[in-house]
């Protein structure tokens, strides 16, 4: 027996499964057998006693989980940080454990109220005493970690738990003597696994499979080379033996029903530590401000969700609720992250939601200089569709050419900033990196606008005919207004427009001046011309709706003919092509761009097979657009969406709800989705436009 090693245990006098606060307890209320529990606990007690000294805390009636002394607190040297339980079901244990620590000469530390931390269940010392591994995600709050570091003067490494079956760190993670680590990697997020791998060399990592993990193999007590646990598979026993450990298995099934096993039932009160280890905690905190329709527009939810999903935690410092429907709310939130890297990740997403740093923390944006053409600095800020400003020399500078997925380049004198796609960054360009001094402006979305969006965005399935009609009425009205004030509408269309009989309607729109640019691929042009010249679209007779014999060759004949003319425009000029969408474009001087793809036949001479050139053409044609109609083409619509700043109304029409959802996911109020047949949509649209006499009815003079 090792006299100097001491453990604290609590006899199971009042143990039972009385409530459900973890998945193991589900379906197990009052299902554990008292006699068996007592017998299993006694066995464990004796095994530990053979290896160390065991102290006992008096069990308190009404607190059935008090047997799990690992959750009493965290002990190092003569200091004890008492737990603050997350669930009220266990909060009554706190005074009992506190009393024991005090009676046994520990200096007791207490965390602020409402800052949960569940003791040694979520904080495990490296067995060499080099640092403290601390878990968060379910029971303990990340913000408790800096306290641990400060009070115990030790480096804390935060690990995020993501599987609710492994809600405490000690259920899936067990540091062993000699720098070994027994753990279940799937219980941790990606970043935490990376952290573990950086600290523990591969030959020291004993990663276990789910089958062992659910037997609580990681919930083991390690005393020197002995490892005491509920159960281990043959292979795990062998691996532990190879690493020099002898495994003692002792069944603890009655305690598994409450979600605990040997480690949970003990608290080591003598922990080793090395002198050189000192306080250090990479946990970072920052305060952000949010303003707007935080509740109505769901911004608050989104912000808090993305903090937690990103591996951070938050504390809402204040929330000023706007009381009227039109008034906005403001909130300040403290965000914590386990490292700088994670913080930057979370922060950049918060910026996209419109979050800003509080005035006293605002600083200039940081830039780095490009050293390789077409390659931005690693940490570059990735732009969104929302109007963005960067702070340079104490001034906020509006970013030009806003689009998503670009970098921000600041001019040499710091007076200008613009979005630049990666391939266009030049050596010497100053690119904004990190998350400081950047703010985006999310247009205020209020309840009315959101409801409108919901109404017009036909969420699930195919929209009812009446609803399609209503959306079409609205779009027709806007189209008419834009045309009459000389505005710009861009259409991106797929070949389905032609296959569904929409060619004549789209031609009408172009002829009547409703379209200022057309974007698409090789196919829409090919099938439009095929229909104009041969009456078929992909070999289907457009009058009768049946395939014609040999029709599949039609489009190749058409491509070949246009190739002979050298361009669509030339074919029109020479009187070969006399109707259809492409014809109307040429006749009405509506510029078009056809972007090629791997599956293109031909292609037509006009099709840009150089995609960089095609992207450039597209973005030129989109400039200044007020509305973009996206007609049944996922590929081109997404391409266009990426180049388009917020504020441009996008109408996406597709029979496939998934495409509509994807496009509307830009999260801006301006997007409208219509799930319907595009041919039908266009015909309704033209009808509706015909019905509109004038957008500004002339008032009768008296």
- As annotated, the active-site residues are 168, 264
Q: What does the binding site for ligand ARG look like in residue numbers (CB under 6 A)? A: 21-22, 65, 68, 70-71, 90, 121, 168, 170-171, 258-260, 264
User: Which residue, 17 or 479, is less far from ligand ARG as judged by CB?
Assistant: 17
Closest CA to 443 of 628, 644, 319, 299: 299
- Sequence-separated (6 or more) residues with CB below 8 Å from residue 27: none
Question: Could you tell me what percentage of the chain is helix, strand and coil, using 3-state DSSP and rounding each to the nearest 5?
Answer: 35, 20, 40
Q: Residue 58 in contact with residue 276, Cβ under 8 Å?
A: no
Structure token digits, residue 513: 């001046």
H or E stretch including 683? Answer: helix 678-691
Q: Comparing C-alpha atoms, which of 691, 688, 637, 684 is closest to residue 664?
A: 637
Residue 568 vs residues 573, 581, 621: alpha-carbon distances, Å:
9, 11, 18
* CA distances, 651 to each of 25, 142, 479, 645, 657 (Å): 50, 43, 11, 14, 13
Close Cβ partners of 671 (under 8 Å, ≥ 6 residues apart):
453, 457, 649, 650, 651, 652, 663, 664
Q: Is the Cβ of residue 66 or residue 290 nearer to ligand ARG in the bound state?
A: 66
Phi-psi region of 185 (alpha: psi -120 to 50; beta: other; left: phi over 0): alpha
The residue among 167 and 191 lying less far from ligand ARG, judged by its C-beta, is 167
CB burial of 267-283 (b: ≥16 within 10 Å; e: otherwise) equals bbbebebeeebeeebbb
Name the strand (E) or helix (H) holding 618. helix 611-622
Helix spans in 329-464 (H): 340-352, 447-456
Nearer to ligand ARG, 48 or 264 (CB): 264
Task: Give the span between the Cα atoms of 219 and 264, in whole angstroms.
Answer: 7
Is the CB of residue 408 less than 8 Å from the CB of residue 431? yes
Pick from 379, 334, 380, 341: which is nearest to 357 by CA? 334
Residue 330: Cβ within 10 Å count: 14
Q: How far is the C-alpha of 255 from the C-alpha of 567, rounded, in Å?
A: 79
User: Cβ closer to ligand ARG: 22 or 329?
Assistant: 22
Shortest spacing between CB 636 and ligand ARG, in angstroms: 53
Query: 664, exposed or middle or buried, with CB in 10 Å at 0-12, 13-18, 19+?
Result: buried
Closest to 601 in 3D by CA, of 523, 546, 519, 503 = 523
Other CB atoms closer than 10 Å to residue 261's CB: what's the count?
29
According to DSSP, the β-strands at 395-400 and 388-392 are antiparallel
* Helices and strands per DSSP (H, E), number in the chain: 22, 33
- Maximal C-alpha separation, the chain: 109
């Amino acid at each position: 027996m090792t006299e100097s090693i001491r453990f604290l245990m609590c006899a199971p006098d009042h143990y039972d499964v009385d409530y459900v606060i973890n998945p193991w307890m589900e379906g197990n209320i009052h299902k554990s057998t008292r006699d068996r529990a007592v017998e299993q606990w006694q066995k464990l007690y004796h095994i530990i006693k053979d290896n160390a000294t065991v102290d006992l805390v008096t069990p308190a009636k009404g607190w059935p989980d008090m047997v799990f002394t690992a959750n009493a607190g965290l002990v190092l040297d003569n200091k004890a940080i008492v737990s603050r339980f997350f669930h009220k079901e266990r909060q009554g244990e706190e005074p009992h454990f506190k009393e024991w620590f005090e009676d046994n000469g520990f200096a007791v530390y207490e965390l602020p109220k409402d800052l949960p931390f569940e003791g040694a269940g979520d904080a495990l010392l490296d067995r060499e005493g080099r640092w403290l591994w601390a878990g968060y995600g379910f029971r303990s709050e990340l913000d408790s970690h800096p306290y641990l570091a400060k009070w115990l003067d030790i480096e804390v490494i935060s690990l995020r738990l993501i599987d609710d079956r492994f809600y405490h760190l000690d259920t899936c993670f067990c540091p062993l003597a000699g720098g070994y680590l027994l753990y279940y990697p799937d219980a941790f997020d990606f970043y935490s696994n990376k952290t573990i791998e950086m600290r523990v060399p591969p030959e020291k990592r004993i990663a276990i499979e789910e089958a062992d993990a659910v037997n609580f193999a990681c919930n083991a007590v390690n005393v020197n080379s002995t490892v005491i646990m509920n159960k281990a598979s043959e292979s795990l026993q062998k691996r532990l033996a190879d690493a020099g450990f002898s495994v003692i298995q002792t069944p603890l099934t009655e305690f598994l029903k409450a979600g605990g096993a040997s480690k949970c039932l003990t608290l080591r009160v003598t922990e080793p530590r090395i002198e050189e280890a000192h306080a250090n905690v990479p946990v970072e905190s920052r305060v952000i401000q949010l303003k707007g329709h935080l509740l109505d527009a769901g911004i608050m939810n989104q912000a808090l969700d993305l903090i937690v999903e990103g591996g951070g935690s938050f504390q809402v410092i204040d929330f000023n609720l706007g009381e009227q429907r039109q008034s906005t709310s403001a909130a300040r939130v403290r965000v914590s992250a386990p490292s700088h890297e994670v913080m930057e990740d979370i922060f950049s997403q918060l910026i996209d939601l419109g979050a800003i740093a509080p005035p006293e923390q605002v600083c200039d944006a940081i830039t780095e200089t490009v050293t390789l053409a077409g390659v931005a600095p690693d940490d570059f800020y990735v732009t969104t569709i929302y109007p963005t400003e960067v702070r340079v020399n104490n001034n906020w500078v509006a970013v030009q050419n806003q689009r998503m997925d670009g970098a921000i380049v600041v001019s040499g004198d710091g007076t200008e900033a613009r979005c630049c796609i990666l391939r266009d960054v030049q050596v010497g360009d100053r690119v904004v990196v990190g998350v400081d001094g950047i703010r985006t402006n999310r247009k205020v979305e209020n309840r009315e606008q959101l409801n409108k969006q919901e109404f017009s965005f036909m969420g699930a399935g195919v929209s009812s005919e009446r609803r399609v009609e209503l959306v079409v009425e609205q779009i027709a009205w806007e189209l008419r207004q834009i045309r009459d004030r000389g505005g710009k509408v861009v259409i991106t269309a797929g070949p389905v427009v032609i296959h569904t009989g929409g060619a004549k309607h789209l031609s009408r729109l172009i002829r009547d001046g409703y379209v200022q640019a057309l974007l698409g691929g090789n196919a829409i042009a090919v099938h439009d011309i095929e229909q104009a010249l041969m009456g078929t679209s992909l070999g289907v007779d457009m009058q009768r709706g049946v395939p014609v014999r040999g029709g599949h060759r039609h489009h190749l004949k058409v491509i070949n003919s246009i190739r002979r003319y050298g361009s669509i425009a030339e074919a029109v000029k020479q009187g070969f092509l006399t109707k259809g969408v492409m014809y109307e474009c040429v006749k009405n001087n509506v510029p078009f761009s056809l972007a090629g793809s791997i599956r293109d036949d031909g292609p037509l001479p006009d099709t840009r097979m150089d995609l960089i050139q095609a992207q450039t053409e597209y973005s030129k044609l989109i400039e200044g657009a007020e509305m973009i109609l996206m007609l049944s083409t996922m590929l081109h619509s997404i391409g266009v969406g990426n180049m388009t700043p917020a504020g441009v109304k996008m109408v996406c029409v597709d029979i496939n709800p998934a495409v509509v959802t994807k496009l509307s996911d830009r999260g801006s109020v301006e997007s409208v989705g219509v799930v319907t047949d595009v041919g039908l949509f266009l015909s309704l649209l033209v009808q509706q436009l015909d019905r509109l006499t004038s957008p500004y009815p002339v008032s009768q003079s008296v």
